[in-house]
Amino acid sequence: MSWAMTAGPATSRRKAWSALWLGLGALYFFLPLLATFLFSLRARKGVLSFVAYAHVFSDPEFVRTFSFSLERSLATIVAGLALMIPTAIWVNLRLPRARPVIEVFALMPFVIPPIVLVFGLIRMYSRPPLALVTSPALLVAGYVVLSFPYIFRAVDAGLRAIDLRVLTEAAQSLGARWETTLFHVVLPNIRFSLLSAAFLTFSIVVGELTLAVMLAWPAFGPYMALVGRDLAYEPAALAVISFLLTWGSLVVLQLVSRGARGQGTTVGGVH
Amino acid sequence: MTVTGVQGGEGARAARLSLRGVLGRWLGVVPFLLFAAAFMVLPAATLLVGSFQDARGGFTLVNLVHVLRPNILRSYLLTIEVSLVTAVGGGIFGFLLAWAVTLGGMPKAIRGFLVTFSGVASNFAGVPLAFAFIATLGRVGLVTTLLKSLFGINLYDSGFNLYSFWGLSFTYLYFQLPLMVLIITPALDGMKREWREASENLGARASQYWRHVALPILLPSLLSSVILLFGNAFGAYATAYALTGGFINLVPIQIGAQIRGDVLHDPNLGYALALGMVIVMTLTILGYAALQRRASRFSRA
């Protein structure tokens, strides 16, 4: 009786507050994006133009550093997945007892900031017999460490969501060898988790600054920092480009995985 | 060999078998553990060792004493201040946003958008983020100039400076807020409608419901999230570097300067600085984990 009367005003008051907070949030989040975009268009005095973007794209250093970082991020994704998939499968299938240990190691990069990590890597690998500091492999190894938490969580969540034990036992009882089970049964079933791990890793690595600058690699992050030191409008253009890159790759990911979930729900609806 | 044979071949074989069994069972996680050891644990451990060594490798505590130098102590204080302000600020506002889309009765689509956007924005840190805020609130930034020409407000005359404490904190919020949204949304989802209805039926006002029911339940989640945000800001290097050009006295910036040998080249002091960071971060994560365990009490019930 009384709740029917109070629910109305209480709900509308809740909605009003929600709208207020969301409005403030939208202001905080979109104003800088809008301002950056408009700022990037003002390279030519008096008119709005895409001159700053033209400058960025025609700079050979942009192409060189971006493709360098693109290659490193692909290498990181491949190496990270190659390392994490077997580990996560093992933890889910053979050795659940190891889960706490693996989780601690996989989440440790949250405790060791990149600046500390790279400092340790430099100290450890700058002297023979382990003089790896000048090798691009060390940069990728550092990136794999940075992406540990993201890759492990994504792959592990994917494996937990499927019935891994039943799937693998079914495949094996049908005579599949382990490669067949892995590549034709397990991995296709967690492909969206793998994609999400890949995109997250990409968005972290492609503009990464700390490791690249300290190990002195001509990567995209240091290039952007350099441009920011010397120029005014091009950095804004770079910020817009990298936001679109991050946004674009994550939106693609959302769309792809929503398509998959959509299939699932239609099947569920039919039943 | 023979000794064990005398004592009983059965037991020795069982021991050997189980050793092989243990190795076999752990085989699949060994590559990961080796990799983690080689490129994460051991490098960090060498810093630990290095912070207790002098330039020639002898044992010393002098680096730890040097950490107490006024300007280094100041850099720790400033880093802690920035992290604290952005963790609490981002925590409160992120909570309000997450509340709005979970319990606030907003349409589902807004929630989906906010969560997706938060996923992007929490990764939109580093150099591009610094550029965005320079273009917005820098000396010739769009908002700065608009405020001046439209309202006659000169931000930089009234004490605001993007390249110092408050400007940096305001910039950090851009990745702190979305992170809070991402980690607190599940906790708010766990708030059962029955709890609110029960307290309403017992005659509680909304404020009483929050003070006596919702906040006590949410408190561990809230605190652990804020701690995580603290750690997130504490280790940040790229944003501060790109925003201030390295001219702000934060610990990560100091460590960077030590690595590059820009200042007095004293790597061992750098190790001690890094050690201090790892200690702070470890405490942070331990606090986070302890509170998370408390928080999961209610979700299991």
Question: What is the predicted pLDDT for the residue at A261?
Answer: 46
- This prediction's pTM: 0.84
First to last CA, chain A: 39
Amino acid at B4: T
Choose the closest CB to A113 out of B42, B142, B252.
B252
Choose the closest CB to A39 out of B101, B126, B142.
B142
Q: Give Cα B127 to chain centroid, integer Å.
A: 18
Question: For the domain bounded by B65-300, which CATH number is listed?
Answer: 1.10.3720.10
Question: What is the predicted pLDDT for the residue at A48?
Answer: 86
- Examine the pLDDT at A154 and tell me if it is beyond 60: yes
First to last CA, chain B: 55
Question: What is the predicted pLDDT for the residue at B240?
Answer: 93
Question: What is the predicted pLDDT for the residue at A4?
Answer: 44
Contact B49, B58 (CB under 8 A): no
Choose the closest CB to B206 out of A10, A102, A122.
A10
Q: Give the architecture (CATH level 2) of A51-264.
A: Orthogonal Bundle (1.10)
CB-based contact A121 B43, cutoff 8 Å:
yes
Average pLDDT on A189-209 reads 88
Bridge partners of B59, per DSSP, are B53
pLDDT tens by residue, A78-94 = 999 999 999 999 999 88
The alpha-carbon gap from A90 to the nearest alpha carbon of chain B, in Å, equals 6
Helices (H), chain B: 2-26, 30-36, 42-50, 62-67, 70-102, 108-121, 127-137, 142-146, 165-189, 193-201, 206-209, 215-234, 238-244, 251-260, 267-300
Tell which of A15, A41, A123, A215 to mutate to test the B interface (max B CBs under 10 Å). A123
Judging contacts by C-beta atoms under 8 Å, the chain A residues touching residue B206 are: 10
**Predicted ipTM of the assembly:** 0.84
The alpha-carbon gap from B218 to the nearest alpha carbon of chain A, in Å, equals 19
C-alpha to C-alpha distance for A97 and A90, rounded to whole angstroms: 10
Question: What is the predicted pLDDT for the residue at B139?
Answer: 86
- Examine the pLDDT at A1 and tell me if it is beyond 50: no
CB-based contact B136 A32, cutoff 8 Å:
yes
What's the Cα-to-Cα distance from A233 to each of A41, A42, A238, rounded to whole Å? 8, 7, 9
Q: CB-based burial of residue A269 (10 Å sphere; 0-12 exposed, 13-18 middle, 19+ buried)? A: exposed
C-alpha to C-alpha distance for A226 and A241, rounded to whole angstroms: 16
- Taking only the tens of pLDDT, chain B with its 301 residues reads 444 444 445 555 555 556 666 667 778 889 999 999 999 999 988 888 888 888 787 888 888 888 888 888 899 999 999 999 999 999 999 999 999 998 887 888 888 888 888 887 887 788 999 999 999 998 888 888 888 888 888 888 887 888 889 999 999 999 999 999 988 988 888 888 888 889 888 988 888 888 888 888 888 889 888 988 998 899 899 999 999 888 888 999 988 888 887 555 677 778 888 888 888 888 887 888 888 777 776 655 4
Judging contacts by C-beta atoms under 8 Å, the chain A residues touching residue B174 are: 28-29, 32
CB-based contact B25 A94, cutoff 8 Å:
yes
What's the Cα-to-Cα distance from A82 to each of A74, A187, A198, B68, B193, rounded to whole Å? 12, 12, 12, 44, 44
Contact B255, A120 (CB under 8 A): no
Tell which of A14, A20, A39 to mutate to test the B interface (max B CBs under 10 Å). A39
Residues 6+ apart with CB under 8 A from B83: B229, B230, B231, B233, B234
User: Which sequence spans correspond to the domains of chain B?
Assistant: 1-39, 65-300
pLDDT tens by residue, A224-257 = 999 988 888 899 999 999 888 887 877 777 677 6
Helices (H), chain A: 2-40, 51-58, 60-93, 99-107, 114-124, 136-161, 164-173, 178-180, 187-189, 191-205, 210-214, 220-230, 233-270
